Chains A and B, each alone.
Chain A
């Protein structure tokens, strides 16, 4: 779509938002009973679901396998670790590791075959999914107080049901809520948002149309209270003079996301406490 005007002269974006405005965010916590924690988020048309298991004894392929087997292998591995002086040996797959001093965060990302305009063939396991899983893991290793649960594992599974731009941000935000729902201690919320740069203006929370236009885009995961950055990623050229502005737009958007998520959590806690009869 050549000549698509991403930002009108009056300062409106394609979907009627202004440069710094987020899309509408709706979120729910505790959507699944069987998981330790779960959450669902909609950021505009981007919809993501996150479930969290753990912290449980660290090892194994995940929640699909029998816990008996997991337990047995876990002990075996701890033995080997002791012998090799704390050096972690990989048994099978990259996920099966346990750390002596902190919890292992295992993240898996998948997106539904129907999530994009054209139907995807592989729901997970492709390069993009692996990379996304890795990024999520880095993000949450920075946020979860992993040293409280040595030798254990926390599994975070995220699925994107509909992708309309900003999937990474939606995944992080959903996972944050799910981790909170699971009651796992964190340093702070992790709030993520994307930002782009069009015609000298930084746009927050890009939609698919804006992403597809091919400008630079940046994904930021922020710990809002301290202002620390959990993850910052950008894969296009942007002159360093503009970076600060784009970064600030993303950070501001992430702080806005935090306000919203905080409201959701408080609402959830209030409802839960009513149910518990407090």
Chain B
């Protein structure tokens, strides 16, 4: 193998240093075209299509490959061209290392020019190379660049070159592709007024200087949901934790979009403003509205008291854009035949986006996805391009898709690469699988799950040993046996992080073959498991703990109800039933002990929809029922998790993946304490134990639901539990479970954290080998970060899905009146909970175009006095629930007060003359 070498010399600032690096140019990189005799299959990785499908381009009729330059690639990859033509991306890999296409930087040539030249050389090489390959099928490489000079040079050198736009326009078969092109062309924006609206963004180098010297502050830009002219920037500083800066007015926002990382400059104190309480939505259609907007801005600033002023700033530059494709709807332009339209994202924090499309009429009334391409200084709105059509508004599939996209839940079908790592069917346990595994098939193991569960990841057994002690086993599906570290399947599940359960759908973390078949511990088949086996005495004290990989054969898959029935019925005495009874007995002791230690039993109103089996429309709601068997399974899962957490932390003190639940700051409890006091109850919050005890004692004979309400309220005071890497944190405590250490081990089918924990445990007991990422605490911390994000998003998506189904339910149900309890009292509204539906909503008492009723809010009690009626927390009220579909994009549940009756506020009980757009606008909060 021939190697030649060159020296690259570099100097670094701060003392001149000569760095000599070798670079080996290779002569064995294949062109990637299959059947190329010259390269002889030297190419590895993705290959070019053997015969590029003819995309019927009018500028280039013969079959060809495309060679996009880096800028085109970066900006247009989302354009979703046919995969076949894109295969030439592989060719750019050739650039740096190949002998024939190496390009030395010339004197006076900058790095960009050199790159351009290198790509041109590669294109030329490809053309000559392909010509050699076959004389008959005239394959050609077409160079795509948006840089005019680059294109001219390429044509000069005899390379067929086009701009992206030219090429896509010429694709006669797919005229709609042009819509998807990111509009970056400099000359394309002739319609825009030349007037410059925004000040220029400073270059990154200047921003970094400014941030270092303290003139600018770096933070995350968060647009306001209520007011499009206002935003806050969260400064991520080390000492001044979470400082917030207010930005007001279009010019000060300076083209920042929600979630961008920006640099802001503080304004002098004289220009500071207070956050306005006005709700403002961007409704302007015209470009010339800028002056009008300035007026509104001025209006915002009036009438604020001195002490309300907050630090105010303006955006001077963008450090990192965080644009993603946005879901929303098209607001069709008033001008007929116009191709430019405004797009209104579903998320109110995102500005409207101007897109160019010829399909406006077909896209109207549909949910579409649009990506932002840029925001020029002279444009009121950012420019974007159409990406995808999701479907009609209100359709269940479309809305599900929207909520998945908006919550960033990866839900595409698994790719071929991922599926290729699945075991081949028919699958059976081989000799090799049995290595390091214990055969537990003779044990009487059973699983207990909710009805209809297909991904069974845990199973249990309990038997009496000869010495009189009990042997209890928790058997968890051995997912890590199938998902090997580092392969595409592993990467995809790590990315998904968790299975997302929506009302009518499940978005799997692992392909169905694993989740519902090979990993699922179904009854009467041999399955691989990871077992945690304890020897306990009859007092539920652990005498011995053993972890082992195993093979099990579950004897029964029971539902909670079935298991309960077996335990309760006196005339069943088979092995499974005795096993269950033993487990149940131990679980009760364990639970008692856990509660004594101060574990919290909290409550949240959970509902389950009864779905129509054919239309999948919700027909009824039911709150979840809890049985003894639920807590039996839960108790052993907790025990297994804690045992595993101890073991992996003992073995890997620096890089065990654990889960913690921080204790909430005392201020979080204020609302709970105040609410309880208004009912003459005392809630102690100094420790988890005293909280648990005082919650237990907080009973009212006349008001049995009060305790549940208090528990619901207490849940709201809690912090989020998070995954973390033991080497990066010192506080391991799990507040809610009152355990000094905790992790997730028991649901590897639906949580990726458990897969990692399985791997750690397998290494700890010597059943599996390790790999470098597993013992790298920084990589582990990254995984934790992603998992925490995915779990949060999955939760939000679940809630949004429940909210959407609630809407569907009330749509079919019409208007109903229900009893409700007040959960919170706000300045101008009350938040109520309807126990029957587990539904929470806000009843507003203030209206824009109506005279405001007299409201007196007392923060101390807290209470709200409207006219003559006083509302306290936990008061029982009656509300009317209906669906408000006046805004197509944001349908919502409205609630209005029925009882107690307040003249002018509450609505009459008879529903005959309901006016949906009437005085009481009630909102259902989605993300609460």
Contacts and interface: CB of A to CB of B under 8 A. Distances in A.
B18 A117 contact: yes
Given A9-B45, A118-B17, A23 B22 contact: yes
Interface string A147-185: 000000000000000001000000000000000000000
B21 A15 contact: yes
Interface string B479-509: 0000000100000000000000000000000
A10 B45 contact: yes
B44 A207 contact: no
B77 interface: no
A16 B26 contact: yes
A237 to B, nearest CB: 8
Contacts of B26: 12, 16
A24 B24 CA distance: 9
Nearest to B772: A200
A126 interface: no
Contact of B22 (A15, A200, A239, A242): A15
Contacts of A12: 26, 97
**Counting chain B CB atoms within 10 Å of each CB, which of A16, A197, A200 scores highest?**
A16
Given A24-B3, A200-B771, A200-B772, A44 B22 contact: yes
B25 interface: yes
A239 B770 contact: yes
Interface in A91-148: 117-118
Contacts of B1: 21
B769 A239 contact: yes
A51 B332 CA distance: 84
A16 B18 contact: no
Contacts of B775: 237, 239
Contacts of B21: 14-15, 45, 207, 209
Contacts of A241: 769-770
A86 interface: no
Interface string B789-814: 00000000000000000000000000
A15 B24 contact: yes
Contact of A15 (B23, B93, B770): B23
A16 B770 contact: no
Contacts of A117: 17-19
B760 to A, nearest CB: 13
A200 B771 CA distance: 7
Nearest to B97: A16
B770 A45 contact: no
Contacts of B772: 197, 199-200, 239, 242
Contact of A24 (B5, B17, B45): B5
A20 to B, nearest CB: 12
A15 B5 CA distance: 10
B453 interface: no
Nearest to A198: B772
Contacts of A44: 22
Interface in A1-54: 9-12, 14-17, 21, 23-24, 44-45
A256 to B, nearest CB: 12
A55 B769 CA distance: 49
Nearest to B485: A200
B98 to A, nearest CB: 9
B20 interface: yes
A204 to B, nearest CB: 13
Contacts of A16: 23-26, 96-97
Contacts of A17: 24
Given A15-B23, A117-B17, A200 B97 contact: no
A11 B26 CA distance: 13
Contacts of B5: 24
Contact of B44 (A10, A118, A199): A10
Contacts of A118: 15, 17
A45 B771 CA distance: 32
Contacts of A237: 775
Interface in B404-438: none
Contacts of B97: 12, 16
B97 to A, nearest CB: 5
Nearest to A237: B775
Contacts of B44: 10-11
A209 B19 CA distance: 11
A164 B18 CA distance: 12
Nearest to B486: A200
A25 B1 CA distance: 13
A5 to B, nearest CB: 12
A238 to B, nearest CB: 9
A107 B283 CA distance: 83
Contacts of A200: 486, 771-772
Contacts of A242: 772
A11 B5 CA distance: 19
Interface string B91-103: 0010011000000
A139 to B, nearest CB: 26
Nearest to A16: B24
B518 to A, nearest CB: 25
Contacts of A11: 44
A11 B25 CA distance: 14
A10 B97 CA distance: 11
A269 B840 CA distance: 92
Nearest to B4: A24
A45 B17 CA distance: 16
A209 B20 CA distance: 11
A109 B45 CA distance: 45
Contacts of B770: 239, 241
Contacts of A209: 21
A118 B18 CA distance: 9
Nearest to A238: B772
A200 B484 CA distance: 13
A162 to B, nearest CB: 8
Interface string B646-676: 0000000000000000000000000000000
A117 B97 CA distance: 25
A220 to B, nearest CB: 20
Contacts of B20: 45, 164
A117 B486 CA distance: 36
Contacts of B18: 117
Contacts of B486: 200
Contacts of A45: 20-22
A10 B22 contact: no
A92 to B, nearest CB: 41
A199 B485 CA distance: 11
A130 B18 CA distance: 27
Contacts of A24: 3, 5, 22, 24
A253 B452 CA distance: 58
A117 B12 CA distance: 11
Contacts of B23: 15-16
Interface in A224-273: 237, 239, 241-242
Contacts of A239: 769-770, 772, 775
Contacts of A14: 21
Interface in B744-784: 769-772, 775
Given A16-B97, A23-B22, A118-B17, 15 more contacts: A10-B93, A14-B21, A15-B23, A16-B25, A17-B24, A21-B1, A24-B3, A197-B772, A200-B486, A200-B772, A207-B22, A237-B775, A241-B769, A241-B770, A242-B772
23 contacts: A9-B45, A10-B45, A15-B21, A15-B22, A15-B24, A16-B96, A21-B24, A45-B21, A45-B22, A117-B18, A117-B19, A118-B15, A118-B17, A164-B20, A164-B22, A197-B772, A200-B771, A200-B772, A207-B21, A207-B22, A239-B769, A239-B772, A241-B769
Interface of A: 9-12, 14-17, 21, 23-24, 44-45, 117-118, 164, 197, 199-200, 207, 209, 237, 239, 241-242
Q: What 6 pairs between A and B have smallest CB-CB spacing?
A: A16-B24, A241-B769, A16-B97, A239-B770, A15-B22, A44-B22
Interface of B: 1, 3, 5, 15, 17-26, 44-45, 93, 96-97, 486, 769-772, 775
